[in-house]
Structure formats: C-alpha cells, structure tokens
C-alpha cells in the first residue's frame, strides 16, 4: 500500500500574505482552497499546504522539504530572507 501526504494545515496570522510569500519563494501557485477556510499553496500534484488564519496561539513546528534540484543557494540568493514579523527567532544559514 502506498501512502501519500495530501495536505498539511499551517496556522498563520494572515493566511493570504503567508501563502503568497511562500508560493513566491518556491515558485509555485497559490489561491483559495477548494474546501474550507484555507488559502492553499500547491506544492505539486499531490501536496497542498493549507494556510488557516487564527488569532489563537500556535506552537511552532518544523517541516523539512526536499527537492530533486537541491542547491546550496536559497531562493533569496545568499541575502537575508524576508522578515516575518510574527516568527520566532531561529538559527539559519544567514545568522
């Protein structure tokens, strides 16, 4: 039996801005989801990230994505990535 991840719900303060930013960084389409109160980022034919807007506190999570075309240069081309005003501080290649 093959098991595939279909969608992943991502809590956010601004679902449209969050989805658009991620989609622009990844170069993938985004828009209102077909069902529910979500804004979707369509990663591929089988996986959608569904952004859900909430004012409630949410725990941070880590999700790691791979690509067939991995490079050591992020999409922001070595400069600091865009600022996320509601994001917790994190360590990354730019710090």
Sheet containing 30-32: give its strands across.
7-12, 48-53, 38-42, 30-32
- 15 CB-near residues (< 8 Å, 6+ apart): 38, 39, 51, 52, 53
Residue ranges per structural domain of the chain: 7-53
pLDDT given for residue 2 in this prediction: 78
Q: What pTM was computed for the model?
A: 0.63
CATH code of domain 7-53: 3.30.720
Look up tokens 């290649």; give the residue: 93
pLDDT tens for each residue of the chain, 95 residues long: 777 888 999 999 999 999 999 999 999 999 987 778 999 999 998 899 999 999 998 887 777 766 666 555 555 555 555 554 544 444 444 44
């Amino acid at each position: 039996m093959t098991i595939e991840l279909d969608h992943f719900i991502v809590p956010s303060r601004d679902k449209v801005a969050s989805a658009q930013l991620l989609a622009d960084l990844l170069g993938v389409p985004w828009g209102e989801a077909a069902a529910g109160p979500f804004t979707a980022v369509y990663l591929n034919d089988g996986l959608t990230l569904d952004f859900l807007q909430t004012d409630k506190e949410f725990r941070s999570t880590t999700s790691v994505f791979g690509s067939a075309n991995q490079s050591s240069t992020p999409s922001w081309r070595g400069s600091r990535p865009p600022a996320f005003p509601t994001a917790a501080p994190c360590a990354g290649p730019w710090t």
